Amino acid sequence: MSKVAIITGGGSGLGQATAIRMAQEGINIAVVDVSEKGGNETVEKVKAEGVDAIFIKADVSKPEEVKSYVDKTVEHFGSIDYFFNNAGISGSGKFYLDTTIEEINQIVGINLLGALYGVRYVAEVMLKNGGGSIVNTASSAGVIGQDSVVTYSATKHGIVGLTRSMVAEYAKDGLRVNAIAPGPTETPMVRAFYEANPEMKANATGGIPQKRLGTPEEVAELVTFLLTSKAEYINGEVIRIDGGFTSTK
């Protein structure tokens, strides 16, 4: 029986690249995104790899919509084996005291509460079925401090805590939970952020020892490895994929 993965933020960037890469491994995919256009595009690309896929529209900051995407996945596929808990936004790039309360609430709602809700409902299903594997998307801003992304950084540090603490509680029950910490990567979200803050792209690229941004496909390879049985004894890790960016901080 084919394995099943849920990927949030699956309509573009890291989520879409990972959906395609996992489909190449014969894994069926539930694509979750707030964008119908992006989500359906990913489903088409996944199905072209010869596996089954569905799109589920959801705002991950709303717990009832998170529960719904979990329920719909189980209804369609019968189980959940893998979860790429990836949906997120970056924010305006303003210094913290110049951001609005509305922006703070939006970033926390999607990046942190959305991730917490996802793990809450997905892990419940996984544990009933004997276990499963989760990869949460943190960030280089989740392992070091960075200016212009204070709220984003706070949420990504929270993802690291979520990852490690879930392992402390549930590894004995067959659950694996790891996180990735990508540096600046060529995704639509990052491109939009740098278009709004062009000086920050030059600063970021200059600070990366490899002198380039990462690609979604490179991150997708790491996520696929961590989710699948090839990484069975890796648990509670936060793996940086940033061209050496945080190694120099």
Burial (CB < 10 A; 0-12, 13-18, 19+), residue 205, is middle
State the Cα–Cα distance between residues 66 and 156, nearest whole angstrom: 19
Catalytic entry in 152, 170, 194, 233: 152
CB 201 within 8 A of CB 211: no
Q: Cα dihedral sign for 195, 9, 47, 219? A: positive
**Could you tell me which of 203, 199, 201, 187 has the C-alpha nearest to residue 248?**
203
Q: Is-catalytic flag, 152?
A: yes
The DSSP symbol for 176 reads: E
Name the token pair of 175. 């659950």
**Could you tell me which of 175, 156, 159 has the C-alpha nearest to residue 167?**
175
- CA within 13 Å, CB half, 87: 34
Vertex 68, ends 65 and 71: CA angle to 5°?
Answer: 160
Enumerate the active-site residues: 152
